[in-house]
Amino acid sequence: MKNEFTLTIYSEDQIRLITKLSSMFIRKQINILSLNMSICEIDKMYRHTIVVNETLDQVINLVAQIEKIIEVYKCYYSLNEEIVSVQTVLFKVPTAAFMTEAKMERMLREHDLRILEIQKEYTILETTGTDNKICYITEKLNQFGLIEFVKSSRIALMKSSEGFDVEF
């Protein structure tokens, strides 16, 4: 049975790392749902967070191959309940919706939506949350004439780990 897994990979700054990873995912016909790269707690090291929807056996095999074939220090895999994760989303809604819809103000407060910019034609809102929260808010904002939105990739920390620097 397929589940959503978050892979956390630690590596040095490797120019060809993404090419190697994408080749491996293409060969295995695994779709990447989300990809994030950032600096991490260890100097000159990078954390890569990749979200996939696969079987446990496929993920275990993938992690072993990533650690063996691609020059990384460590690759972890986690189910959603084993991590704390968040995404950021920006929404563009018509400014007129604030003038005509009393529900809009309540929605701002209930869902921790922050106003980033107000223009005559549109207003940019921002919030953070899980996929479920973001999907729910998107559905609600569609009722107010949502113009567009963009969602960041997932960032995540493992709940049970002491951190990679302890192993490193």
Same domain membership, residue 71 and residue 100: no
pLDDT in tens, 72-125: 999 999 999 999 999 999 999 999 988 777 788 888 888 999 999 999 999 999
For 80, counting Cβ atoms within 10 Å of its Cβ (0-12 exposed, 13-18 middle, 19+ buried), the class is: middle
Based on C-alpha coordinates, what's the Rg of the chain? 19
Please tell me the distance from the alpha carbon of residue 151 to that of residue 131, in angstroms, as a whole number: 9
Same domain membership, residue 44 and residue 104: no
Same domain membership, residue 110 and residue 72: no
Same domain membership, residue 72 and residue 24: yes
Q: Is 23 part of any domain?
A: yes
Same domain membership, residue 75 and residue 8: yes
Domain count, the chain: 2
- Domain-terminating residue out of 35, 58, 83: 83
- Candidate ranges 16-20, 68-72, 88-92, 141-145; pick with highest mean pLDDT: 88-92
What's the CATH number where 77 sits? 3.30.70.260
Which residue in the block uniquely carries the two structure tokens 């929260």?
133
For the cut 70, the answer to whether the pLDDT of residue 142 exceeds it is yes
pTM score over 0.75: yes
Same domain membership, residue 103 and residue 48: no
Same domain membership, residue 55 and residue 77: yes
pLDDT in tens, 32-58: 999 999 988 888 889 999 999 999 999
**pLDDT at residue 137, rounded to an integer:** 95
